[in-house]
Structure 1
């Protein structure tokens, strides 16, 4: 399964980000806690060289908690400040102001020595499409100040948001990078909804999900659907049977079953699952 998706507006957004990054003190990078490495745009490290860095493990409620902790340790070892958050519920957001101050303490102290008092930290919020940036900003600010949506590409332009006297945020559009060298990265991003669904073969993507479940969470298919077979295509047929996905003539509707299985994963109905692991990826 080959996945590539890089709409033209992302090139423009990357150029704008390169200009705006000169204005900021801190980069707050949202990643999806289920795929923390795959959901990091590698361009951000180059663009943000020399800036204070924070990683928010968003949607941490959907990820396996033992791996949330392992990923926190992994990123802290890389020099990032890390907070586990759930932007929808607001979990973890109260920690962020204190961590921002800690991340920028050198900048704040430098300002104080120059006689500059109470200048707010200016932070750029970055992340790939559909990782939850706008939901985070709205929850953090306590009001709907950034558009939200459950599809990639809702935020089209940069916008400044004054949160309080000590922090200003710059919201940016979600941008990917031009080519996925590792197709497993593309598959993981497709599974979490960061790739436009309209360009995907959902039945192939469902098979990839089934392979992952068989390998790392083998009891899920039996517990949720009563499925015990090992054959991946038969598993998809069993999902269709369990959810009454039928076409005219009684044939199983495998596309509908694929959508149900993928949506169940994305919404956490299959349980808390992490798709990649720091021990494997850090080697």
Structure 2
């Protein structure tokens, strides 16, 4: 595991799922990790397991330093307060921002693949406000601090496979926008020491997925959240990561490039969506 003992990271949406996996992998590398999300012991979103406090404690137990911050990333004042806290506690040094927060499935009461004219406006709003907009908000606050310190990496978690249709219009457009956001940020950062890129996990055994899937056979070939976490660690430790700025990388491809495995020693292949190219 790469040593990141001098790295201060912020992982948004890390109460559970991929965000938690990323935070834990950074803990394995010895990083200081600000863990954000809305879920705390007495108030967990969608009644799913996982809280920011549990994740932060686990980061510390694995050799890093976990710092839990309850934060609603759709609340601009709360996000500003989060960065004010980082300024106070870490002198504004945040070398790694992982944009992972995602509220697009919260309160979801319609079929994912229902035609777009039967999807609610609320679904669209959640996928953009608690996804694309939240990533932009955190990035616009983190990047000036990275520029001041002379280094930085922004990793944004997306989903999909190339130009393959992702199965739902709101979901497809929000994830495409996430990746376009990454490319556009990288373009404006091209002459700086700050790198922006996106990663695409495969089918991941998050708490939400495990809660929804009844057939264990349906989980064959899936990834643990730590698989994406190890991808982020490999990127953060890569002295040539700037060459990847503006790119979108599948976790399975990164595993083969950097030589890491999932927790069971396997190396799940890059995720291929079955949908048609658009």
Q: TM-score scaled by structure 2?
A: 0.36
Q: TM-score scaled by structure 1?
A: 0.35
Structure number with higher relative contact order (C-alpha < 8 Å, ≥ 6 residues apart): 1
Q: Which structure is larger by alpha-carbon Rg, 1 or 2?
A: 1
